[in-house]
Chain A
Amino acid sequence: MENLKTDVLVVGAGPAGSMAAKWAAKSGAKVLLIEKRQEIGSPVRCGEGISKSWLPEVGITPSSKWINVEVEGARIYAPNEKCLEINEKNAGNEVGYVVERDGFDKALAIDAANAGTDVLLKTAATAIRRENGRIVGVKAKRSGEAFDIDATVTIGADGFESQIGRWAGLPTNLALRDMDSCLQYRMTNVDCDVRYCDFYLGKVTPGGYVWVFPKAEGLANVGIGVQLSKIKGMAEARQYLDDWISKHPAYSKGKRIDIVGGGVSISAPMKTTSTDGFLLVGDAARMIDPLTGGGIANGCIAGKICGEYAARAVALGTPTKEFFQGYEKDWRARLEEKLYRNWLAKEKLCSLSDETFNKVVDALQGVKLEKLTVHNILKAVRDKYPEVTKEFAEFL
């Protein structure tokens, strides 16, 4: 295969990559999007629950092609199975859709293509290419054939297992407590409630949670994330999930029609996500929300900013580390505070006993909260269990 030349090269056609490609193309750059798989969006590796408030910001129009159900809210279950309902009224932007993730990814790639992006499937980046210290593209392989891609700006959007971020020398390594091992079954013949996404907490799922996201009546994604620092042996994610399912009759009678696994980062934001000629975005840049494990919204929001900066660097001829400080500044202004706050909240939640979880959720039973903020929750807990609030002193 002949060598290729482009203004902006995007590695990885997930949501962050397609979003970056779309906005770089819309901003006037010649864009090439490469994807190592043969089909964008497949196989799915995702719980498929997303919030919806951010969609207009990045130019995504909700479509029945990729929405399975629109939920009314979320239910957080304490270990004693009492639940706290989070709905549009008290939490606004946190509720949303359960999506068909492969359809969602394809829709975003189509948007990118319609904006002028060229797309190459079955094309993997195998190494980064540098000239005078600056990243100038990648070595690639397509259907067994090796070739070079020249790019003024290279964008790494290759997901949680990002190789390209490491090749670029960015600090993508994670501590054990900042990673989850995840497993999910798509199950049919289950008693799920299509009005809610459900989350179960406690020591049945150490340092993570069990989720039940309804795809349709009787069909749901049932999955688990377990914090790596709390795992001792092999296949523990599966054991915890199988145990949980066997103890919940609404799901134990269900039939598994799909199995999905993967790693999720639950870390504080990376210090650097760019260098000369190079930008990192999405799960590859550890932009996943460390509390929820959700990566799509942040990936798309940062993807848009990333694409726009890449195109601007091309137009101005300034694909430098210094110029990309603007990218760092803008995506952090939009996402960083919440990432830090949720990382702290995650650290705290991982340390709580089942008894404390039970008390927190119990204290909120029947309490009408105007807005579901950490502060309001802790005030309600203080009224009923003053001793418990001591554990949360740093949040008050």
Chain B
Amino acid sequence: MVSKKHLHIESSGQLCIYCGACVGVCPLNCVYLDETRITFDEKVCTRCEICVKACPVGAIEIG
């Protein structure tokens, strides 16, 4: 099994503004916004990186 790249969503508020752009663009519906916390489903995520591009403030990193 090929291991997936590391994905990190900074949602402590340092960068994240909880705008939900990442949630809306995810083609697999695996990013969730819960008031002031953003999480994603590690198993479903394919690391397509669309959320990385959509995040207007650069709070999502893959690598």
Instruction: Show the binding face of A for B, using Cβ within 8 Å.
Output: 36-37, 43, 45, 159-163, 166, 173-174, 176, 179, 181-183, 228, 231-238, 259-263, 265
25 inter-chain pairs at a CB distance below 8 angstroms, sorted by A residue, are A45-B19, A160-B20, A163-B29, A174-B25, A179-B54, A181-B53, A181-B55, A181-B56, A228-B53, A233-B53, A234-B55, A235-B56, A236-B53, A259-B17, A260-B19, A261-B19, A261-B56, A261-B57, A262-B20, A262-B24, A263-B19, A263-B21, A263-B25, A263-B54, A265-B24
Q: Is the CB of B24 within 8 A of A263?
A: yes
Q: Is the CB of A237 within 8 A of B19?
A: no
Q: Which residues of B contact A160 (CB under 8 A)?
A: 20-21, 24
Q: Which residues of B contact A259 (CB under 8 A)?
A: 17
Bound: A309/B18 CA distance, A: 34
Q: Which residues of A contact B53 (CB under 8 A)?
A: 176, 181, 228, 231-234, 236
The residue in A43, A160, A236, A263 that gathers the most chain B C-beta atoms within 10 A of its C-beta is A263
Bound: A231/B61 CA distance, A: 15
Bound: A108/B27 CA distance, A: 31
Q: A163 — nearest CB in chain B belongs to which residue?
A: B29
Q: Give the Cβ gap from B26 to chain A, nearest Cβ, in Å.
A: 9
Q: Is the CB of B61 within 8 A of A234?
A: yes
Q: Is B33 an interface residue (CB 8 A)?
A: yes
Bound: A36/B33 CA distance, A: 11
Q: Which of B21, B50, B52, B58 contacts A182 (CB 8 A)?
A: B21
Q: Is B23 an interface residue (CB 8 A)?
A: yes
Bound: A260/B50 CA distance, A: 20
Q: Give the Cβ gap from B60 to chain A, nearest Cβ, in Å.
A: 7
Q: Which of B20, B27, B58 contacts A161 (CB 8 A)?
A: B20
Q: Is the CB of B21 within 8 A of A262?
A: yes
Q: Which residues of B contact A176 (CB under 8 A)?
A: 50, 53
Bound: A232/B53 CA distance, A: 7
Q: Is the CB of B24 within 8 A of A162?
A: yes
Q: Which of B21, B23, B27 contacts A181 (CB 8 A)?
A: B21
New A-B pairs, 4, CB < 8 Å, besides A179-B54, A234-B58: A183-B56, A235-B57, A261-B56, A262-B21
Q: Is the CB of B54 within 8 A of A166?
A: no
Tell me the chain B residues, 31-63 only, with Cβ under 8 Å from chain A: 33, 35, 50, 52-58, 60-61
Q: Give the Cβ gap from B6 to chain A, nearest Cβ, in Å.
A: 15
Q: Give the Cβ gap from A125 to chain B, nearest Cβ, in Å.
A: 13
Bound: A45/B25 CA distance, A: 16
Q: Give the Cβ gap from A275 to chain B, nearest Cβ, in Å.
A: 17
Convert B8-30 into 0s and 1s, putting 1 for each residue whose CB lies closer than 8 angstroms to a CB of A: 00000000011111011101010
Q: Which residues of B contact A37 (CB under 8 A)?
A: 35
Q: Is the CB of B58 within 8 A of A238?
A: yes
Q: Which of A43, A163, A234, A261 contacts B21 (CB 8 A)?
A: A261
Q: Is the CB of A182 within 8 A of B25?
A: no
Q: A122 — nearest CB in chain B belongs to which residue?
A: B35
Q: Give the Cβ gap from B14 to chain A, nearest Cβ, in Å.
A: 13
Bound: A236/B55 CA distance, A: 8
Q: Is the CB of B54 within 8 A of A228?
A: yes
Closest 4 CB pairs of A and B: A235-B58, A261-B19, A161-B24, A237-B56
Q: Is the CB of A161 within 8 A of B17?
A: no
Bound: A234/B57 CA distance, A: 7
Bound: A231/B56 CA distance, A: 10
Q: A241 — nearest CB in chain B belongs to which residue?
A: B56
Q: Which residues of A contact B33 (CB under 8 A)?
A: 161
Bound: A160/B29 CA distance, A: 12
Q: Is the CB of B27 within 8 A of A173?
A: yes
Q: Which residues of A contact B60 (CB under 8 A)?
A: 234
Q: Give the Cβ gap from A299 to chain B, nearest Cβ, in Å.
A: 15
Q: A240 — nearest CB in chain B belongs to which residue?
A: B56
Q: B52 — nearest CB in chain A belongs to which residue?
A: A234
Bound: A183/B19 CA distance, A: 9
Q: A283 — nearest CB in chain B belongs to which residue?
A: B24
Bound: A179/B27 CA distance, A: 12
Q: A45-B19, A163-B29, A166-B29 are in contact. Are A235 and B55 (CB under 8 A)?
A: yes
Q: Give the Cβ gap from B34 to chain A, nearest Cβ, in Å.
A: 8
Q: Which residues of B contact A183 (CB under 8 A)?
A: 56-57
